[in-house]
Amino acid sequence: MAAFSLDDVGISVKRILRNAPPSALYEEAILHDTGSHITASGALVAYSGHKTGRSPKDKHVVRHPNSEKDIWWGPVNFPLADGSFKVNRERAMDYLNTRDTLYCFDGFAGWDPEHRLKIRVICARPYHALFMHTMLIRPTAEELEAFGKPDFVIYNAGAFPANRHTTGMTSKTSIDLSFEDAELVILGTEYAGEMKKGVFTVMNYLMPRRGVLSMHCSATADPATGRSSLLFGLSGTGKTTLSADPKRRLIGDDEHCWTNKGVFNIEGGCYAKAINLTPESEPDIFQALRFGAVLENVVFDDEDREVDFSDTSITENTRGAYPIEFIRNAQIPCVAGHPTDIIFLTCDAFGVLPPVSRLGPDHAMYHFISGYTAKVAGTEVGVTEPSATFSPCFGGPFLVWHPGKYAELLAMKMAEHRSRVWLVNTGWSGGPYGVGARMKLAHTRAIIDAIHCGALAGASVASDPIFGFDVVTQCPNVPPEVMVPRNAWKDRPAFDAQAKKLAGLFRQNFAKYEEGVSEGVRAAGPKI
């Protein structure tokens, strides 16, 4: 492996492994990363320490005159003074310069050459280098030779804490992003997902400036036409499961952009939840966790070298990262035509929303900005009702602009390319959680199939009296009695009360976004 230097950025470590192959990173991990193992299937097991998930309250964006008017400051983007960023950057560099070996990975974000970014990752753990090897788009030998100056650099010194006395720090963890310096500095967390989502946040800032819509969604393509379909949805809505469609080609499972040419995946890999993973429940993901993949924070048996995916003693957020080409029906390169259909998935535990509704432009923007799903009641004594969860644009923690910016781009592209928009409820029918039953997966798959084949484009609809969207009343292979939620409830007055309650939660949530959207979008909210 040729010698590589980072002297130009102030890193004097002599042994730097740049774009080392997975086999070399495996060796480094076994030798130097405490707790690393190789599973029977060949995946590398690694542990992220005391942080096993993202730290959104410790994420900061440098407040700078060049970008501060663009940024949606508040509960997602916490401002940081440039001086504090420089202190943390220096702290990270000092730590990295104490290492005997550093790992550097140069790769791309974005499969469209016109819009891709050159990303450089500098880190002290081979596990982090292998993770970004899977998640970024891997350059060819010729592309690596011509890589040149990166567009963006990640300094991952996560094993070293931030100084809590530095102005603006909220804890010993700090994830600091400077758009002007084109750098991300990580201190106090070794959770690999911070790097992945840092790149996504950068794309969420830069792409809308070019008129490109960045999206937190999965995407599939029709192998016959090349046209795509987008699936948005928060955790638990079925996005990953419904994207695994053998009749379609997988473009990507999480992060995409919509340009004037079509859709492209931002990433070169997938980062899937591994909790309760089985070959029966998720066969494509299960077989992808082999040599070259990373399993994060899973429980491992030293004797048979098998992973117990049901064991959550370390964390419920166990994860597996693997190159997208490990999925059998992946489309390489990960690009497709304009979407025929855009699907918002929600798991409505209140039992109010229909199995499928058709959304016009204003309703589409309203529900895109709302990003609704619901979680079932927890185990706390006395808690018996579902709780509503809203995340703007189905990816609130990673937005940079006001949600209205992304919604306007969506509406513009939707109109230009005549994309249909649907709200699909994978949650409860016939009553709320504890009374009704969850929609059968077979019925939801039938709805998605009917959307993709165009069967629902001209289907009969009825306007919902509270939410205002068009409820599809008939769908092939779905019982008609479940298509209109009120008809599926035995207690109709209870349904009416529940619908008004959910409508009130929507209105209460949307109030914080009203100043950034049009009157038409505001009027698309539910009527009580």
DSSP 308-338: ETT--SS-S--EEEEEGGGSTTB-SS-EE--
Q: Evaluate whether residue 289 is within a structural domain.
A: no
> Active-site residue among 54, 120, 249, 452?
54
- pLDDT in the model for residue 379: 36
pTM of the model: 0.95
Tell me which of 192, 211, 230 is where a domain ends: 211
- pLDDT in the model for residue 34: 86
Contacts of 458 (CB under 8 A, 6+ apart): none
Same domain, yes or no, for 361 and 501?
yes
Number of domains observed in the structure of the chain:
2
Measured in residues, the chain has a length of 528
Tell me which of 211, 244, 277 is where a domain ends: 211
Cis peptide before 333 (omega within 30 of 0): yes
- pLDDT in the model for residue 386: 84
CA distance 460 to 525: 23
Active site residue 235: yes
Contacts of 166 (CB under 8 A, 6+ apart): 84, 87, 88, 174
Active site residue 54: yes
Same domain, yes or no, for 202 and 342?
no
> Active-site residue among 319, 338, 405, 443?
319
Contacts of 10 (CB under 8 A, 6+ apart): 93, 97
- pLDDT in the model for residue 399: 97
Same domain, yes or no, for 203 and 347?
no
Q: Evaluate whether residue 402 is within a structural domain.
A: yes
Active site residue 216: yes
Active site residue 115: no
> Active-site residue among 51, 115, 133, 197?
197
Q: Evaluate whether residue 137 is within a structural domain.
A: yes
Active site residue 254: yes
Domain that holds residue 177: 15-35+54-211
CATH code of the domain covering residue 150:
3.40.449.10
Tell me which of 183, 211, 239 is where a domain ends: 211
> Active-site residue among 5, 235, 384, 463?
235
- pLDDT in the model for residue 115: 98
Same domain, yes or no, for 172 and 24?
yes
> Active-site residue among 48, 174, 240, 318?
240
Same domain, yes or no, for 356 and 500?
yes
Burial track 389-427 (b if 16+ CB lie within 10 A, e otherwise): bbbbbbbbbbbbbbbbbbbbbbbebbeeeebbbbbbbbb
Q: Evaluate whether residue 264 is within a structural domain.
A: no
CA distance 70 to 78: 14
Full pLDDT tens readout for the chain, 528 residues: 667 999 999 999 999 999 999 999 999 999 999 889 999 999 999 999 999 999 999 999 999 999 999 999 998 999 999 999 999 999 999 999 999 999 999 999 999 999 999 999 999 999 999 999 999 999 999 999 999 999 999 999 999 999 999 999 999 999 999 999 999 999 999 999 999 999 999 999 999 999 999 999 999 999 999 999 999 999 889 898 899 899 999 999 999 999 999 999 999 999 999 999 999 989 999 999 999 999 999 999 889 999 999 999 999 999 999 999 999 999 999 999 999 999 999 999 999 999 999 999 999 999 999 999 998 755 344 546 789 999 999 999 999 999 999 999 999 999 999 999 999 999 999 999 999 999 999 999 999 999 999 999 999 999 999 999 999 999 999 999 999 999 999 999 999 999 999 999 999 999 999 887 889 999 999 998
Read off the tokens for 337.
């035509």
Q: Evaluate whether residue 267 is within a structural domain.
A: no
Q: Evaluate whether residue 272 is within a structural domain.
A: no
User: Do 254 and 365 meet the contact criterion of CB atoms below 8 Å apart?
Assistant: no
Same domain, yes or no, for 343 and 206?
no
Q: Evaluate whether residue 498 is within a structural domain.
A: yes
Contacts of 80 (CB under 8 A, 6+ apart): 60, 61, 62, 63, 168, 176
> Active-site residue among 58, 112, 222, 254?
254
- pLDDT in the model for residue 395: 96
CATH code of the domain covering residue 479:
3.90.228.20
Same domain, yes or no, for 205 and 350?
no
Active site residue 492: no
- pLDDT in the model for residue 299: 96
Same domain, yes or no, for 508 and 362?
yes
Q: Evaluate whether residue 205 is within a structural domain.
A: yes
- pLDDT in the model for residue 44: 98
